[in-house]
Structure 1
Amino acid sequence: MTHSPAAPLADPHQRYPTAAVPEGPRDVVILGSTGSIGTQAVDVVLANPDRFRVTALSAAGGRVELLAGQAHRLQVRAVAVAREEKAAEVREALRAQYGPGEPIPEVLAGPDAATALAKSPCHTVLNGITGSIGLAPTLAALEAGRVLALANKESLIVGGPLVAARAEPGQIVPVDSEHSALFQALLGGERREVRKLLVTASGGPFRGRTRAELAEVTPQDALSHPTWEMGPVITVNSATLVNKGLEVIEAHLLYDIPFDRIQVVVHPQSAVHSMVEFTDGSTLAQCGPPDMRLPIALGLGWPERVPDTGPVFDWTKAMSWDFHPLDEAAFPSVALAARVGELGGTAPAVYNAANEECVEAFLGGRLPFTGIVDTVAAVVEEHVAKPDAATGTELTLDGVLGAEDWARARARELAASQVEARV
């Protein structure tokens, strides 16, 4: 059954009560501070000390020195790491940053540490965590009444109805560039006037290649994105267009637009970040140089814009922007994602978890590039054909986690069988 919330989860016409601009800097918690979104969010905050004050940071624990440096520059009250064994190393790195006798921030460690920060006192929580582990912090932030600047798309993919049950109108502000673009373009009309959402895609490094040509793609090829610099999983997802499939599901959940009215358009220049087509024939686009600081700042500062956040186009110079239809034969991930989104339940969690395992197998040389989406599709079909307790069909947090565990295990089995078949 397709999830259809009573109102959009993200509505630019709605204002969450606590979103009123406070006097002085707005207190912010940044989850995933050492990742791509998090580091750019820190840049936005440091450039606007009169607007934002970071109270806490969380990270996985792989870049301890960076985390400690961020904590010192921002003078946060608390730091969290997901890897419990990293707690002592984090404290040592913090002491190296702070002066003699100067108290260091409180250190939280473990899988629930980011969730604890998400409900700590603040105005806005920026969830920049990568992966479905961001779901629990998303739910915690919403339950605590925080404004949620959401960059963790997996929160919606794997737990859309769970998020919808907790979110109040106007409480979520999207941070993904495409969904921020839709959010801004939707200001141009009423929801009933929307005919179509047009989600743009750069096409990744393999735009124009046939499926046969994609069979020999290497991890190094896939990690060479033409526009954006991102982590390895997201970069490979952009190459397979799985990332765009996830964004289609996210757009459906955020804006309550049916899947048959959400279309992916290939736009290599990444200048138009997405568009909204209205019933009168007008199409509104949000444009700008490819720089994530703008949607991050909008998420942190909404309903106000933060001046001079990112670069602008030089309109004195000639520019050309191209748009192409999506080649669904070469990139079947988007159509598969739409089907998964229509199925609802734990199917999106299965899609996402199986993909993460397949990407890891591809990067490790254990799965061909085209095998990523093929294997994900096979896992999804098994899940749909045999919806029993083993696959976790109950739409609760535990049910979602159970579905993910099953999908990961099954994806690993199928990937391993492909290796054996090639030997």
Structure 2
Amino acid sequence: MMKTISLLGSTGSIGRQTLEVARMHGFSVCALAAHSNVALLEDQIREFGPALAAVFDADAARDLKLRVQDLSVRVVSGMEGLCEAAAMEKADIVLNSVVGMVGLLPTLTAVSAKKDVALANKETLVAGGALVMKAARENGVRILPVDSEHSAIFQCLQGCPDPSAVRRLILTASGGPFFGKSKEDLAHVTPEQALKHPNWSMGAKVTIDSATMMNKGLEIMEASWLFDLPVSQIDVVVHRESIVHSLVEYQDYSVLAQLGVPDMRIPIQYALTWPQRMPSPVKPLSLTEIGSLSFYPPDENAFPCLRLAKQAAELGGLVPAAANGANEEAVKLFLQHKIAFMQIPELVEEAIQRQAPELPQTSAQVLEADRKAREFVLKSI
């Protein structure tokens, strides 16, 4: 199987691992996009030879042009450049792994260009799920999940010809670095402590979301759009070992689970090769080495972001966009030591309360709800 990939977010954790998969299987890369890490992006360009490189930061784009002036690659910048990369004619699939709301417009652009999208940017569906899924249906393209939890559910559903047979989805959560802590224990934790995830190597924003359990709330919203199920049919269980990546319970109470070592290259590769399976660069799972698996209910008192995300999803409309925008801005402030850890859910809750649940008709409405929520957070401090 030969595929040509346009990769958005190539210098991040998911992007780097995607290129490992591409390297192993000989996939070609027609476009690479990054925010500002031009040193790594230059290395990637020299190895994979894309026709286009997009750098979101304009100054960094000018730097990259000088670095690769001996190559035939064309360098573009800003959101316009990111969207150009998302619509590359030669691409068989666009893998979107940029972080945050910046991923929404490139996803919509790729879908409009009739490209299948391997989605690792959960904010796209959290904030703009109605627009994205409608556009995907109209253009006859697939949104293939890259998150390990959604990939697990996607895999467990492959043998289910009747969607009505599904009783519920069960997303697993590692519990992050603060599992077992009380609300009081979390009052004074530092960014450095929150960034020490026990199982996964991820970017800073996603790692903080794991520590607050907001990531699981965002994943509930994403799963609702991907698999066309209400939030009431999506549960969360804390699974410390991160071996069971998620489960599907059917009407007969049979439960199917997808297991594997905690390595993102498995779901990345499956999104790129579906419906086929190919040898993987990860090590095999040994259940005898693991020995035992544990499961716990989530603590929504200590980690209120999970409850708030579900509340935002149930309210619907533009409320998830506001919740997501407030969370993104609050996480930035926490990483800068400007607010406390438990102020993140407080700000998200206020943003939810301030946003009317009107249905978005355009991406501009979604982006405006996002902007207002961020503005509120910044004014609050």
Aligned to 2:53: 79
Indicate which of 138, 141, 148 corresponds to 2:110: 141
Q: Write the distance in 1 (CA, Å) between the matches of 2:360 and 2:169.
A: 30
Aligned to 2:96: 127
Shift of 1:155: 0.7
User: Could you tell me whether the CA contact under 8 Å between 1:346 and 1:395 is conserved in 2?
Assistant: no
Residue-by-residue CA offset, 1:87-117 (whole Å, 9 max, x unaligned):
221022224xxxxxx5330111122111111
User: Could you tell me whether the CA contact under 8 Å between 1:79 and 1:107 is conserved in 2?
Assistant: yes
Indicate which of 7, 13, 31 corresponds to 1:36: 13
Q: Write the distance in 1 (CA, Å) between the matches of 2:17 and 2:222.
A: 22
Q: Write the distance in 1 (CA, Å) between the matches of 2:175 and 2:71.
A: 49
User: Could you tell me whether the CA contact under 8 Å between 1:205 and 1:239 is conserved in 2?
Assistant: yes
| Identity value in percent | 43
- Name segments (4+ residues, structure 1) moved above 3 Å: 315-318, 392-395
SS at match of 1:90: helix
Q: Cα gap change, 1:309/1:263 in structure 2, threshold over 3 Å: closer, same or farther?
A: same
The number of residue pairs the alignment matches comes to 377
The range that moved more, 32-41 or 317-326, is 317-326
Shift of 1:318: 5.3
SS at match of 2:219: helix
SS at match of 1:111: helix
Aligned pairs for 1:38-117 within 5 A: 38-49=15-26, 52-61=27-36, 63-95=37-69, 103-117=71-85
Aligned pairs for 1:268-283 within 5 A: 268-283=240-255
Shift of 1:238: 0.4
Residue-by-residue CA offset, 1:375-402 (whole Å, 9 max, x unaligned):
1101111224xx7xxxx97431111111
Shift of 1:231: 1.2
Aligned to 2:151: 180
User: Could you tell me whether the CA contact under 8 Å between 1:174 and 1:180 is conserved in 2?
Assistant: yes
User: Could you tell me whether the CA contact under 8 Å between 2:31 and 2:50 is conserved in 1?
Assistant: yes
Q: Cα gap change, 1:282/1:209 in structure 2, threshold over 3 Å: closer, same or farther?
A: same
Q: Write the distance in 2 (CA, Å) between the matches of 1:376 and 1:193.
A: 35
Amino acid at match of 1:172: I
Aligned to 2:263: 291
Aligned to 2:135: 166
Q: Write the distance in 1 (CA, Å) between the matches of 2:171 and 2:254.
A: 16
Which residues of structure 2 form unaligned runs of 5+? none
Q: Cα gap change, 1:74/1:280 in structure 2, threshold over 3 Å: closer, same or farther?
A: same
Aligned to 1:406: 372
SS at match of 2:342: helix
User: Could you tell me whether the CA contact under 8 Å between 1:393 and 1:399 is conserved in 2?
Assistant: no
Larger Rg: 1
Amino acid at match of 1:132: M
Residue-by-residue CA offset, 1:328-373 (whole Å, 9 max, x unaligned):
1111111211111111111111001101111111122221111110
Q: Write the distance in 1 (CA, Å) between the matches of 2:67 and 2:262.
A: 34
TM normalised by structure 2 equals 0.96
Q: Write the distance in 2 (CA, Å) between the matches of 1:152 and 1:144.
A: 18
Asked if 1:26 corresponds to 2:8, the answer is no
Which residues of structure 1 form unaligned runs of 5+? 1-20, 96-101, 417-423
Aligned to 1:213: 185
Q: Write the distance in 1 (CA, Å) between the matches of 2:44 and 2:180.
A: 41
Q: Write the distance in 2 (CA, Å) between the matches of 1:395 and 1:410.
A: 23
Amino acid at match of 1:413: K
Residue-by-residue CA offset, 1:157-212 (whole Å, 9 max, x unaligned):
11011101210366111000000000001123231110110000000000011111
Q: Cα gap change, 1:91/1:323 in structure 2, threshold over 3 Å: closer, same or farther?
A: same
Q: Write the distance in 1 (CA, Å) between the matches of 2:322 and 2:180.
A: 29
Q: Write the distance in 1 (CA, Å) between the matches of 2:290 and 2:235.
A: 28
